[in-house]
Amino acid sequence: MKSARHFLFSLLFLWSAIPILSAQDDDLLSLLGADESTDLVRNAFKSPRVINGHSMEMLRAGVLDFRILHRFGPVNQGFYDLFGLDQASMRIGFDYALTDGVTLGVGRSTAKKELDAFAKFRILGQSTGVKPFPVSLIWVSGVTNNGLKTPFSAVEANATRRLAYYHELIIGRKFSEAFSLQISPTVVHQNFVENELAPNDLVALGIGGRIKLSKRMAFVWDYGLALNRYPEDASLNPLSVGLDIETGGHVFQLHFSNSTGMNERAFLADPNGDFFDGDIRFGFNLSRVFQIAKKP
């Protein structure tokens, strides 16, 4: 119960920041001359996620995005485990856009039975017209809660120790109809880590991109460069490559990744496989959007 209360308090903190950041969004856009002659650049990515991480793309106001992220076991386990298909982990999530510039999301993963929630804000949008702006600036803050009965071996798992937080700034640009690129400086804070040599505050730089192959298909990738991970092994950094397939209201994505976790704390802080040694997992992400509220 304490863990649930702490998680709810964290959600309320994220909710309290919405009016402030939403007002800042409106003020900044007005300074840029966001009127009929200035248009936001859209469809840099076909989804609010690249593969693992958030993308610079935002949902339209009133849209609910129902997401299923599914990842199998390592392919290098061979035929006995059908190259990982006998194993699976998943995350199910719901993201809802209060406005064009504010999205809230919640999800639950089978890995560590982890519950996560986030708030995502557009600070500035890439725009064209009379007063263009060259990039999009997106802020994301999230909280996670480890739901295992006994997540730690040496200490009691109280409510505080179960929690972790992350904050990231996404800086992205749609260079053309065929190419988009973004970077995302990120900080992950874990209230408790069992290994004393591992940092409570992990600093990372995310890199993601999209290359359009056809009207309905695109190649996507994302990578997380952990700057102070222990042990300092670049092969443990999360790397994912995939193919987006757009089918009307669905975006179906096939991908390979060396990470099991599917939230920022998990894929940046938890151990990952060696991508180039075959310790990778085949998976798919499915996104289905619904227009819940009337368009403004």
What is the chain's pLDDT, residue by residue, as a tens digit (296 residues)? 545 455 544 544 444 444 444 444 455 545 544 446 778 899 999 899 999 999 999 999 999 999 999 999 888 877 877 877 878 899 999 999 999 999 999 999 998 999 999 999 999 999 998 889 999 999 999 999 999 988 888 888 888 999 999 999 999 999 999 999 999 999 999 999 888 888 999 999 999 999 999 989 999 999 999 999 887 887 889 999 999 998 876 789 999 999 988 999 999 998 898 888 888 999 999 999 999 887 76
Span 116-165, pLDDT tens digits: 999 999 999 999 988 899 999 999 999 999 999 888 888 888 889 999 99
DSSP class of 195: S
Fold category of 2-291 in CATH: Porin (2.40.160)
Span 203-233, pLDDT tens digits: 999 999 999 999 899 999 999 999 998 878 8
Contact 169, 54 (CB under 8 A): no
Q: What are the E-state strand segments in 100-200?
A: 102-109, 115-124, 127-129, 136-145, 163-174, 179-190
The predicted model scores a pTM of: 0.84
Contact 40, 120 (CB under 8 A): no
Contact 225, 239 (CB under 8 A): no
Calculate helix-pair angle for 2-16, 18-31, nearest 10 degrees. Answer: 20
Domain spans, the chain:
2-291
Give the 3-state secondary structure of residue 134: coil
Give the 3-state secondary structure of residue 209: strand
- Say how far apart CA 132 and CA 208 lie, in whole Å: 23
Tell me the residue type at 260.
Answer: T
